[in-house]
Structure 1
Amino acid sequence: MRGGVVSAAVIALAMTGCGGNEPQFEGTGEQHEAHHEAPAHHAEGAPHHAEAAPSGPRPTRVMDDGARLFGAELGEAPLVALSEITASPDRYAGQVVRTEGTIERVCQAMGCWMELRGENAPAVRVPMAGHAFFLPRDVAGRAATIEGRVAVQALSPDMRAHLESEGALATASSLSIDATGVVVR
């Protein structure tokens, strides 16, 4: 932390919302540092963003083929084409699915959300399990496989404005997939 001073806000962030899963960053050894006072992302009391060290979060594991896993290991959820989910979101609401696509954009504040686009499908918001883990901010354009719970809930105007201030474009849709694990290739 700058000057070795740890603010009460950072301590509160470490003790809330992330379920005790602090982000792991390479480089300076710093965990994270608050960067703005924007609305919480997913729920009342969810943490604000924090600034990642320049090298970004460490993957949970690196696979033999060089792919990097962030968050939890992918489970046995059925593989569903993103185009099927976007065509019938209510059919999948509440279900845990595995899907694939190309990362179109990533939260540039911290890596706590991405937008994933599949073949013949619009981009879908993918938050990272309520800030339980983060993606590197430079993975746009990469292929990804995700696993998470499908949600169909419109964003509040404040949340929409907050996400758009971070570069999000897929904010008009009420569809999102709350990722518990992401494999970046």
Structure 2
Amino acid sequence: MNGSPRSRSTYLLTIPLAFLATMACAREGVPPESTGSTEHAETPSGVPGAAEGASEAQTGERSFGAPLVGNGETVPLGALLDEPARYTGQVVRTEGEISAVCQRMGCWMELRDSQARAVRVPMAGHAFFLPRDVAGRRAIVEGPLTVRPLGAAEREHLASEGAGATDVALELSATSVVILAPAPG
């Protein structure tokens, strides 16, 4: 530092920016339940990382992300899997069984249809996370549908987190997820 006012102010500005960048990167791999932050989800007792829906006590449903938009038509998951080109780029609402959830952070799930075909459902932009223990439950999911190739590194990363639908390029980026109440019995 040569002592000029400009270099001092640049130096003083660089320190807080470097600190903020370091903190943002350090938080990236930390599950939300360990940060103490309620930025993504409130944690009800006994359910790590779960957001408590307003009506959970009465219905057993739990909502995550943005509210479902309007009274949208539910497209059968099988139709999305059979004709992805018809729905690509559209915001769709579908329903299926949760067959897998990211065991690291709850940042993605796989939703399968009645024929056990699965689609990858990442939580849009990591804006929210799902509880890691909801596999086997049914869910309503809403978000834009895309088809994109998965590179080898991404397939390997997803498989390391428990994903099975790593060969499928179909992806529903969830902006809303409603985990339905368990079936009685």
Q: Which moved more, 1:114-123 or 1:79-88?
A: 114-123
Q: Cα gap change, 1:10/1:26 in structure 2, threshold over 3 Å: closer, same or farther?
A: farther
Residues 146, 183 of structure 1: 8 Å contact kept = yes
Q: Cα gap change, 1:118/1:150 in structure 2, threshold over 3 Å: closer, same or farther?
A: same
Unpaired segments ≥5 residues, structure 2: 1-18, 29-37, 181-185
TM-fit CA distance, 1:119 = 1.8
Residues 82, 121 of structure 1: 8 Å contact kept = no
For the pair 1:11 / 2:24, whether they are aligned, the reply is yes
Q: Rg: which structure is higher?
A: 2
User: Corresponding residue for 2:88?
Assistant: 93
Q: Percent identity?
A: 49
Q: For 1:35-184, what aligned pairs fall within 5 Å after superposition?
A: 55-63=48-56, 64-76=58-70, 77-120=72-115, 122-184=117-179
Higher helix share: 2
Alignment equivalent of 1:22, drawn from 15, 27, 39: 39
TM-score (norm 1): 0.73
Q: Equivalents in 2 of 1:61, 1:27: separation in Å?
A: 12
TM-score (norm 2): 0.73
Aligned residues: 151
TM-fit CA distance, 1:180 = 0.4
Instruction: Give a deviation string over 1:81-135, Cα, whole Å, max 9, x none.
Output: 0000000111110000110010001000000000001123511100001100000
Alpha-carbon RMSD across the aligned residues, in angstroms, is 2.7
Unpaired segments ≥5 residues, structure 1: 1-5, 16-20, 29-52
Higher strand share: 1
TM-fit CA distance, 1:8 = 5.8
